[in-house]
Structure 1
Amino acid sequence: MPTYIVTGANRGLGLEFVRQIAKDTSNTIIATARSSSTDLADVKKVASKTTHFLTCDTGSLDSIKSFVSEVKSQFSGSKIDYLINNAGINTVPEQTALSIYPSDLDEQIRVNVIGPAKTTQFLLEANLLSDSVRIVNMSSGLGSMAVSLSITPRKCATYSISKAALCALSVQQSGEVREKLKGAIVVAMDPGWVKTRMGGEGAVLEPEESIGGMLKCVHGVEEGSNGKFFTYTGEEVPW
């Protein structure tokens, strides 16, 4: 009976993660949204009876700390088997490398990089992660420098930079988490260009296919997968 945490679960990729994980009612899901006022109607429609909803704004250290305290209080004695750091933002896709506004880049880094870093850290320090936890950091094809080089014109500069930093974080975590939890595996994932609000016009991939592929990949990771970057098909993504 594994336990999953899915951040940013109220819409988009997070919503589909909950829908598919909830199909097996033996799974426990801790689904988060940014605030207590977030509309949870859609995710509650697909959730199981073993899905629990908590608040976690991954752009706020205080919120992450409160979330971890709540998990420890409500799930005492349980361990997290899958941590899916899905919450993320792409607020200024129009900015280029020549028009980055510092505060916008700061916000992307705070939510897309510091958020997953501290969520993982605080859960680990609270002894809430299982010895064989699978940690999934939701990156993007735009987080790959090799992929970005193949795109002309370049896209979403601040988002791309933050997701590349998240890939670097995943590499660092893959070593450091393993020092504490010998069976842990950390991976970065590229969901593909998915038809969600963030994906925008032109997206080609249905959420069901993307999430189904990622779950198959995550459930099948092996020792040699630690610290690698995969796409939803299970293929390794070049850095």
Structure 2
Amino acid sequence: MPSYAVIGASRGIALELVRQLAASPDNVVFAVVRNIATSTHLTAFVTESKRNNVHVLQADVVDHVALKAAATRAAEITGGSLDVLIHSAARMEYTTMFKTLTDYEDDEKLEEDFLEYFKVNTLGVTHSINAFLPLLRQGTTKKIVVISSIAGERNIAWDLRIDVMAAYSASKAATHMVLTKYAVLLESEGFTVVSLFPGMVDISATAVGPLSADLLTDIGSLLEKFKKADPNVDLTPLSLENGTRSLLEAIHSFGPADTGAVRSAEGHTVARVVVDA
């Protein structure tokens, strides 16, 4: 039975990944969340669907002890293995999301924000992979996929002249380097390590709350940069169901030849590590 661990499964794309993976009774799905008590959308799905192939595990990505405990519990259920790890947890603090490097009230606020983003978005990925790596090494697929963002791509920031999202983008860029290191480290073991961009997906159904007018303005300004760079680009969000289905199709298609790649859900290679022999 194929086994999957989805990190950050309380809402949004990760929750929909759990739903779609659980639709096949052959799959074993571990939904890892920071706090089970507040994961109301996930709890409702598990209760209403009566799926017995979904196992909810509690672990914050900044807590490596809790993540290892979650991995131990998963190992007890699968017999010690895991086929696919999908990491979709991230910090997106909307009060600071669109700040530039000079927008902070003072240097202490800047440092605090950067460290929090790095702790969740970069170290969180590292802790998650390290915790489940022993299980993945015993799996048949050996696949690690991190749902990421083009905000971490240097060429996007420069070509479109995007100065906002400074802390968030820096943490995502660091995450891409972390994944490159894992790709190199695990290549000889037949692993597939990929960073995957979901594109525009409507996640409003399970959002914490409505977006503020200021945030909508900031998002609109950012999208205008994309339209200016490519007037033909389609920025219409995909439905959560369809967008997630595209992600799963991409995840299933990845193999060792893709390791080290940064890809979009449409299959485009955004970046790739090349190791000379």
**Given the two structures, how large is their TM-score scaled by the length of structure 2?**
0.77
Residue correspondence of structure 1 range 204-215 to structure 2 within 5 A? 204-215=237-248
SS at match of 1:210: helix
Aligned with 2:64 (options 61, 65, 68) = 61
Residue correspondence of structure 1 range 37-116 to structure 2 within 5 A? 37-42=37-42, 44-45=44-45, 48-72=51-75, 74-75=76-77, 77-91=79-93, 92-99=96-103, 101-116=110-125
Q: Which has the larger radius of gyration?
A: 2
CA distance in 2, matches of 1:50, 1:86: 20
Aligned with 2:174 (options 150, 157, 165) = 165
CA distance in 1, matches of 2:257, 2:78: 32
Query: What is the number of equivalent residue pairs in this alignment?
Result: 236
Residue of structure 1 equivalent to 2:150: 141
Counterpart AA for 1:223: P
SS at match of 1:83: strand
**Shift in Å, 1:157:** 1.4
Kindly tell me: are residues 154 and 127 of structure 1, through their superposed partners in 2, closer, same or farther at Cα, counting changes over 3 Å?
A: closer
RMSD, matched Cα:
2.4
Counterpart AA for 2:126: A
Aligned with 1:117 (options 96, 105, 126) = 126
Aligned with 1:130 (options 130, 139, 152) = 139
After superposition, the C-alpha distances for 1:21-67 in whole angstroms (9 at most, x for unaligned) are: 12212111000110232233445426632000010100222322222
Structure 2 residue ranges without an equivalent (≥5): 105-109, 220-235, 273-277
- Structure showing the higher helix proportion among its residues: 2
**Shift in Å, 1:210:** 2.3
CA contact (8 A) 2:148 2:197 kept: yes
Structure 1 residue ranges without an equivalent (≥5): none
CA contact (8 A) 1:230 1:236 kept: yes
Q: Quote the sequence identity (%).
A: 25
